[in-house]
Structure 1
Amino acid sequence: MSYQALYRVWRPQRFDDVIGQDVITTTLKNAIITNQLSHAYLFAGPRGTGKTSDAKILAKAINCPNQKDGEPCNECEICQSITNGTLNDVIEIDAASNNGVEEIRDVRDKAKYAPTQATYKVYIIDEVHMLSTGAFNALLKTLEEPPAHVIFILATTEPQKIPATIISRVQRFDFKRITSQDILSRMEFILNEKGIEYDDQALRVIAKSAEGGMRDALSILDQVLSFGFDKVTYDNALQVTGSVTKSLLAQYLNNAVKHDVQAALSNVREMLDSGKDAERFIEDLIKYCQDILLYQQSPEMVEEAELGVIDDKFKALTESIDASTIYQMIVDLNDIQNQMKYTMHPDVYLDVLTVKLASTQAQPATNVTSASSSQNVENNVDIADNSTIRALKDQINSLQKQVEELTKNGVQVKAESAKPVEQPKRSTNRNNARSTGKVNVTKIYPILDNATREDLNNVKNIWDELLGELDVTQRALMKVSKPVAASHDGIVVSFEYAFLFQKASNDQKLLDDLSNGLDRILHNIPDFIFIPSDQWPEIRKGYIVAQKNGGREVKSPNLDSSVENPGENDDNNIEKSEENSKLVKQATQLFGEEIIDVKDD
């Protein structure tokens, strides 16, 4: 027999073989044991997480005559036929290529006929979100009231594209990304079964590169085995995945921080000469900087994500680099990454980036600062302030003497408002500098119109539980966020750092996972609006001003109509505004409009 890929050979054949989806497999087994089967299921989640495998296992389990504890025997004729794809009563349909109305009408017509061998006729429709609107409508009635002998299993990677009328008629299961630790354990099991020697570090590289997909991990492992003649080594894994060694990343950043341009350029040459991809190098650098930043705040989170492998060079970097330097590095790396997409000479951009990082890191970051770095900046400003204060004191003393002389001579001095003397502006934000993100207040105000303290408390109470359902990377991103306003239809979430706010705003997968989590916990899917925490006070103030002006939108400084969010409870301010309006009306009725002059405080 010809060679088969690892992910095909080691595809799960029982619910207990499925990795990282214990809640789903337990629920399905219990439903089979108690004979509480639904007529339709929706399996949603990222690629390579076990959706189609679970669908085929479910089809075997409900039809297996020797089924035990909800598991198929995998030895009877029906189980083996389903495994081989030869049983006519289990029909797999690829919705990507069969997405028309006619194909679904054919399914609807054939579903009326009883199964020939099995107990249930099972339709597995993969990538169901690819069906056309007409095809969904054709499936709707059959999906709602199918014959007693028919079960539909729909699988998709994009559940948000499925009509709500379909979702409301199925039992939904959301598959999560598989953790790197689970992927690592599965690969170790497979290699031990095959009797192949491997390097632990190599498997960790593969597990991280798979990004939560078991199929992706086994495909990469297949490539490494082919590349290394059935040997899994660390160098081979780096070559196949295109990753850069952590030691080279640490050495490069260390040279950049020390302003050793020549050494940093040598690191770039070494990386390019070894055949590494320039864009992958930038991506690895951004991830490495993110890990440094997170390690300074929560070491255990990074250790979990890195599978417990944290070297001494990494720890030394976290102690020697301040947060503001990391923020500025990430901004520069992100800019270069965007520019490199449109060039045929990435090495030029890498050299420019290296010179920039190694030459400018002595300057404090201008767009984002941490609490420690902002304190250093303020100390420097205080030194400059001392000379200004002394000059102002001398000027005041001189003016006071002149006033005393004029008073002795009988001249009356008229007090005038003192003209403010310009002083150096100092930053008052100790958490982060002014964010560059723009916020769409038109999306925020409707949420604030209906925001209540009860809705906000409900979200805060389940916030930790909601974040616990995210993967490690998403939890790290959301760790510095908190809900600041909530209504039934929307939630405003503020981010402490502008870089993480921008990253979260562009992460559609994160938004989908948050919505799915809230749907499971609160049975409600509100809209999420992200904002930088430093803009929240101005947004809230602008909303209150808009209320005072009769509901017209009043834009605050540094706000634009292009991004997101509101904030906490402004009920007291809104109530005061309403009370003022009532007082004005009563005064007008008593004294007339001619003599009423309303002034804002």
Structure 2
Amino acid sequence: MTYQALYRVFRPQLFADVVGQEHVTKTLQSALLQNKISHAYLFSGPRGTGKTSAAKILAKAVNCERAPVAEPCNECPACVGITNGSIPDVLEIDAASNNGVDEIRDIREKVKFAPTSVRYKVYIVDEVHMLSIGAFNALLKTLEEPPKHVIFILATTEPHKIPPTIISRCQRFDFRRIQPHSIVSRLRQVIDAQHIRASDEALFAIARAADGGMRDALSLLDQAISFSEEEVLLEDVLSMTGAVSSFMLTDLVRAVHQKNVAEALRLLEQFMDQGKDSNRLIEDLIFYYRDLLLYKTAPDLSGMIREVLVDQEFQQLAQMIPVSSIYETIEILNKSQQEMKWTNHPRIFLEVALVKLCHQEHQSPSLPAAEDMRHLIKKIENLETELLRLKEQGISAPPQDSVSVQTKKTTKPLKTSGYKTPVGRIHEILKQATHQDLLLIKSHWAEVLDILKKQNKVSHAALLQESEPVAASPQAFVLKFKYEIHCKMAADNTNQVKENVEAILFDLTQRHVEMIAVPDEEWGAIREEFIREKGMQRDKEPRREEDPLIAEAKRLFGEDLIEIKE
């Protein structure tokens, strides 16, 4: 017998074998036991997650001679015949190659006839989104009211291409990407059944490369077994997939953090000698820093860290590298990745990016840190308290002018980033600001952050996490930041944070609104100054004299019966 691929040999034959889709299998099993079988099902989800396998298991379960059962017995003639494809009443149709109206009309004609071998006729239509509009229309009526002996199971990877009229006539089940630990558990069962040895690191590397697909993972394992000699090792999987070891990435990130240009370039040369792809390497670096950021900001969500192993070296790096440095690094790597797509020499851009990262200065050592600032402010408050106490005791104090000047100098907010707030532009926005415009921005702000994360702009979303829209006009809005350094980074044109936020808001609100950033420590003073100036302008406006006609009307009819409309 010819060799069969592992994904065919170990194709699930029971609902229990379908990995990572418990929300689907449990519902189907309950429906089978209660005889609540629908006439049409829609299975949607990424490739290799078990849609067609679940459809065949469902076809066996409804036709099993021991029904109603939660699992097919796989021993009766009906189960065996459906498994080997010898029963003509269970048809698997590829909609990609049978997507015309004539094929659907043929199904519509044959669906009237009763099954010959089993209880139910089951039509499994794979990649159903490939059907033409005419074919969908031809299927519509039959799908809504099929004969009692017919079940339709539609499978697709792109449910958004299916007409809503079709979806509304089906029970829909969404299959999810399978988590790496679930894939590794299944791969371990496969290699034990095949009497093959494999390291845990190799299986995790296969699971990460499979990107949530069980079929892809089994195909990669099949390839890795052929590539290796006696045992599947991590080095074999990395060589086969072109991925980079997380240990070597750790060495490269450490060299960048230590500003060791020679070591960083030496490691890059080593990667290139091993045949690694420059574009794949910079992508792995971006995901490594993304995992660092997640580990530092949300250590409880360690399950979201997929690209690296959280070992002792990774934890030490996470402690050493500040969050602001991770933001800047991701930005630089992302820009370099975009430039590498349009060049014939991507390695040069990767080398330039590494050198740039080794020479970047994340924060000037001369500027006070947040802790030092709090300490200085505390000292100033203590000095002011002591000065007041001395005055109360009658001890002579320095001249009032010098004290006031000195107090003004010390109580002035300490600048940490050199950001110049556009006060005039904010005043213009406040003049036209309305509560409705602010509510519009605030109602979409959480959605803006979610879209940034989905667009792989995690650094932008993290930068805006501590921000809040505080005022808005029809043309612009003011965004308040808790820290001034974040305010400067968001307003910097090179980071493209401002452009991305404005573009997303345009898609959500159909409005071109400009984002103006302001630090929290300055926003209160700017707002108070605007309110004070507006109050002075109102005091200067001359009061209007009452119209003689209005005065006469009040005299004749009384003020209670008079309504004045401008």
When normalised by structure 2's length, the TM-score is 0.71
Q: Report the alpha carbon displacement of residue 230 of structure 1 after superposing the two structures with TM.
A: 5.4
**Structure 1 residues 446 and 423, CA gap change in structure 2 (3 angstroms):** closer
Is 1:86 the counterpart of 2:86? The answer is: yes
* Structure 2 counterpart SS, 1:35: coil
How far apart in 1 are the matches of 2:323 and 2:231? 40
**Structure 1 residues 376 and 238, CA gap change in structure 2 (3 angstroms):** farther
Is 1:233 the counterpart of 2:233? The answer is: yes
Per the alignment, residue 263 of structure 2 pairs with: 263
- Post-superposition Cα deviations, 1:44-100, rounded to whole Å, max 9, x if no partner, equal 111111110000000111112134632212123322222222321111111222222
Per the alignment, residue 491 of structure 2 pairs with: none
How far apart in 2 are the matches of 1:79 and 1:349? 58
Per the alignment, residue 375 of structure 1 pairs with: 370
* Structure 2 counterpart SS, 1:208: helix
**Which is worse superposed, 225-234 or 316-325?**
225-234
Per the alignment, residue 202 of structure 2 pairs with: 202
Per the alignment, residue 276 of structure 2 pairs with: 276
Letter in 2 for 1:537: P
**Structure 1 residues 114 and 68, CA gap change in structure 2 (3 angstroms):** closer
Per the alignment, residue 117 of structure 1 pairs with: 117
Per the alignment, residue 570 of structure 1 pairs with: none
- Post-superposition Cα deviations, 1:217-249, rounded to whole Å, max 9, x if no partner, equal 111111111111353111101111222111211
- Post-superposition Cα deviations, 1:336-381, rounded to whole Å, max 9, x if no partner, equal 11222233322212211111111114457xxxxxxx9983797899
Per the alignment, residue 73 of structure 2 pairs with: 73
* Structure 1 counterpart SS, 2:108: helix
How far apart in 1 are the matches of 2:308 and 2:282? 24
Per the alignment, residue 339 of structure 1 pairs with: 339
Per the alignment, residue 190 of structure 2 pairs with: 190
Could you tell me whether the CA contact under 8 Å between 1:129 and 1:156 is conserved in 2?
Answer: yes
Could you tell me whether the CA contact under 8 Å between 2:108 and 2:142 is conserved in 1?
Answer: yes
Q: Report the alpha carbon displacement of residue 503 of structure 1 after superposing the two structures with TM.
A: 3.4
Q: Report the alpha carbon displacement of residue 494 of structure 1 after superposing the two structures with TM.
A: 5.3
**Structure 1 residues 341 and 307, CA gap change in structure 2 (3 angstroms):** closer
How far apart in 2 are the matches of 1:206 and 1:233? 11
**Structure 1 residues 34 and 340, CA gap change in structure 2 (3 angstroms):** same
**Larger-gyration structure (1/2):** 2
Could you tell me whether the CA contact under 8 Å between 1:381 and 1:426 is conserved in 2?
Answer: no
Per the alignment, residue 215 of structure 1 pairs with: 215
Per the alignment, residue 10 of structure 2 pairs with: 10
Per the alignment, residue 492 of structure 2 pairs with: none
Could you tell me whether the CA contact under 8 Å between 2:125 and 2:153 is conserved in 1?
Answer: yes
- Please report the RMSD computed on the Cα atoms of aligned residues, expressed in angstroms: 4.2
Q: Report the alpha carbon displacement of residue 302 of structure 1 after superposing the two structures with TM.
A: 2.3
How far apart in 1 are the matches of 2:40 and 2:7? 27
**Structure 1 residues 340 and 123, CA gap change in structure 2 (3 angstroms):** same
Is 1:504 the counterpart of 2:504? The answer is: no
**Structure 1 residues 9 and 149, CA gap change in structure 2 (3 angstroms):** same
**Structure 1 residues 196 and 23, CA gap change in structure 2 (3 angstroms):** same
Q: Report the alpha carbon displacement of residue 561 of structure 1 after superposing the two structures with TM.
A: 5.7
Could you tell me whether the CA contact under 8 Å between 1:293 and 1:326 is conserved in 2?
Answer: yes
Per the alignment, residue 387 of structure 1 pairs with: none
**Structure 1 residues 309 and 424, CA gap change in structure 2 (3 angstroms):** closer
Per the alignment, residue 493 of structure 1 pairs with: 446
How far apart in 2 are the matches of 1:310 and 1:342? 34
Aligned positions of 1:438-453 closer than 5 A:
none
Letter in 2 for 1:375: A
Q: Which structure 2 segments of 5+ residues have no match?
A: 378-399, 406-411, 420-435, 479-497, 510-545, 554-563
* Structure 1 counterpart SS, 2:504: coil
How far apart in 2 are the matches of 1:376 and 1:240? 49
- Post-superposition Cα deviations, 1:507-534, rounded to whole Å, max 9, x if no partner, equal 9xx9xxxxxxxxxxxxxxxxxx999556
**Structure 1 residues 216 and 380, CA gap change in structure 2 (3 angstroms):** farther
**Structure 1 residues 230 and 143, CA gap change in structure 2 (3 angstroms):** farther
Could you tell me whether the CA contact under 8 Å between 1:303 and 1:310 is conserved in 2?
Answer: no
Aligned positions of 1:463-478 closer than 5 A:
none
When normalised by structure 1's length, the TM-score is 0.67
How far apart in 1 are the matches of 2:468 and 2:20? 38
* Structure 1 counterpart SS, 2:503: coil
How far apart in 1 are the matches of 2:273 and 2:455? 36
Is 1:44 the counterpart of 2:39? The answer is: no
Letter in 1 for 2:370: Q
* Structure 2 counterpart SS, 1:57: helix
Per the alignment, residue 416 of structure 1 pairs with: none
Per the alignment, residue 455 of structure 1 pairs with: none
Could you tell me whether the CA contact under 8 Å between 2:184 and 2:203 is conserved in 1?
Answer: yes
Letter in 2 for 1:228: S
Per the alignment, residue 100 of structure 2 pairs with: 100
Is 1:319 the counterpart of 2:319? The answer is: yes
* Structure 1 counterpart SS, 2:135: helix
Could you tell me whether the CA contact under 8 Å between 2:20 and 2:178 is conserved in 1?
Answer: yes
How far apart in 1 are the matches of 2:100 and 2:264? 56
Could you tell me whether the CA contact under 8 Å between 1:322 and 1:373 is conserved in 2?
Answer: no
Could you tell me whether the CA contact under 8 Å between 1:244 and 1:284 is conserved in 2?
Answer: yes
Letter in 2 for 1:138: A
How far apart in 2 are the matches of 1:374 and 1:85? 71
**Structure 1 residues 102 and 40, CA gap change in structure 2 (3 angstroms):** same
Letter in 1 for 2:28: L
How far apart in 2 are the matches of 1:492 and 1:54? 40
**Structure 1 residues 114 and 307, CA gap change in structure 2 (3 angstroms):** same
Could you tell me whether the CA contact under 8 Å between 1:67 and 1:73 is conserved in 2?
Answer: no
- Post-superposition Cα deviations, 1:255-309, rounded to whole Å, max 9, x if no partner, equal 1111111111001001111111211111111111111111112334225745994
Alignment: residue pair count: 456
Could you tell me whether the CA contact under 8 Å between 1:15 and 1:25 is conserved in 2?
Answer: yes
How far apart in 1 are the matches of 2:447 and 2:414? 29
How far apart in 2 are the matches of 1:237 and 1:424? 53
Q: Which structure 1 segments of 5+ residues have no match?
A: 365-371, 383-395, 402-421, 430-444, 452-483, 486-490, 511-528, 546-552, 567-586
Aligned positions of 1:523-538 closer than 5 A:
532=464, 536-537=468-469
Could you tell me whether the CA contact under 8 Å between 1:501 and 1:530 is conserved in 2?
Answer: no
Aligned positions of 1:385-404 closer than 5 A:
none
How far apart in 2 are the matches of 1:186 and 1:118? 32
How far apart in 2 are the matches of 1:129 and 1:81? 28
